[in-house]
Structure 1
Amino acid sequence: MNKLPASSVLFLFLLLLPFTSCSERVENPRMVINEVLVNNEENYVDDYGQRSGWIEIFNNTAKTQDIGGYFLTNDKSNPRKYPIPRGDVLTRIAPHQHVLFWANNKPYQGTFHISFELDPEEDNYIALFDESGTKLIDEIIIPKGQLADVSWGYEMDGVKYDKDGTLQLTRLKKVTPSTNNYTLDKNEKVERFKQQDKFGASMTITSMLVVFCALLVLYIVFKIVGKSSTRISEKRRGKSTTVETTAGKPDPQGIPGEVLSAIFMALHEEQNDVHDFEHTILTINKINKNYSPWSSKIYGLRELPRR
């Protein structure tokens, strides 16, 4: 078998090189600047009741991310323009959740009030850097000429690039701070049901059947519970009647129960020897104690007057 010389292999490689591509898939950042509103005139207000532009950051991972110590900026030459304070529990963003920063240049108002503003008449560059201030996490450019109360971002939260690596930044149909950008205007199932039942007859009949079945079930349950309670009450009443009849029933020889009880008590006292021998004799038993309050002298002493 003849082997190709090394020069021929190198020539073939150089010949095929222009036809090969080493495209690298663009990954979405783990923290995404998800939505930006530059011109806020009649939209949401901050915790001070004031309106200003805002920046929404989305946690694009399945773990809680703490952005305390990160940096937000609108100046490429100054990546550490606004350091996000550490120690605030609200900077811990849960998986696939959002956090909102107000661009009002009033950082003294709190953690989420940054030290720069957004200008609707100019292109707005916004970037998020890590704790070192050198590694870029995400960046976005909002074009100038922004309309009032119209936000820009990504239709699907965190999806900055599609499969082909195309940037998905667009003007959003609805302003959605701290919530999902993608919203459903219509429900397909509801719309299909409306087409099939234009006058609502099926819905009415279904509702009536549900109510009727529920009432029927309640009737059966209460009926069963009532019968069970009646049976239990009758059994208890029968037992109590049997006991009363037995207690008040006279002896077969004609002696009432009260007389028998008195006789039994007398026999009990006779056996225990706790009664007098005769009705005119008082029995006094001897006290076993050496000390008796009847013979104590302390009850006969009187307190001497004080001098």
Structure 2
Amino acid sequence: MINKKIGVLLLLMVLFSMGAKAQLTTSVKLNEVLVVNEDNFVDDYGKRHPWFELFNNSAGTVDLRGCFLTNDKNNPKKYMIPKGDVLTKVPPRQHILFWADNAPTKGTFHVNFTFDPSKDNYLALYDSDGTTLIDEITIPAGQRADISYGLDIDGTGKWAILDKVTPSTNNVTLDSNEKIENFQKNDSLGIGMTITAMAVVFIGLMILFLVFKQIGNAAIRASKRNAQKAAGEGVTVSANAGQESGEIFAAIATALYEMSDDNHDIEHTVLTIRKVQRSYSPWSSKLYSLRQTPTKK
């Protein structure tokens, strides 16, 4: 029964981890594309090529290894992001850049296709199964040199011509905190925040109380079972009480014999307490522990 429960728990954990991974992978978005690169960002080889940017819109790290990039709707597995490269892990709310230079031998982030500025360019990201579409975009034809096409807000918003080219960084600089501004506007005295904080603390304490209560009840039940088991063993031992060895009876007989003959010494102990006529407690005085010098009388 226990093995069955452990198996079910492991199965649920595996399914949960798979679901969490899928959820994180689907949170990656195409974020920015530069079709014509004449005087802009250069790659690791000092060359200028078209590039596109992906953005991790989740709060967890996403590993894109095994996912697919393509510019052909009929070939979703055109370029597989290689496995074994630690750089394919995208931290939360961060970017990753790929070069559309049709030179995959140059490294992980150089795909096997490029863009044609004279026509619409399709770009898509597929999950590792090659069939689940994560995100796609069609870049309009006629893109100007060194002008990128991307989302006006990273991971969300609408696609548009961007005022600034921002490879591997935010498309827009956020210089304000909406949450703080909302608190200042709707809860200027902080009453709502105080109530929320207290509610969180009390809920946490309640959860801890329930957990420890269950643990305590389980410990009590276990101790009761152990006590019942020990009592059962005690009954079994008492049933065999008539099988003592002869040495026990010999010791009992010897003790009874000595008691009946009264052949033991009788000691008289007298405890004398003499009060010392002093105003202080002499218990720690070294004077009384010294040997007295004999005097001739």
Given the two structures, how large is their TM-score scaled by the length of structure 2? Answer: 0.50
Structure showing greater Rg:
1
Structure with greater proportional helix content: 2
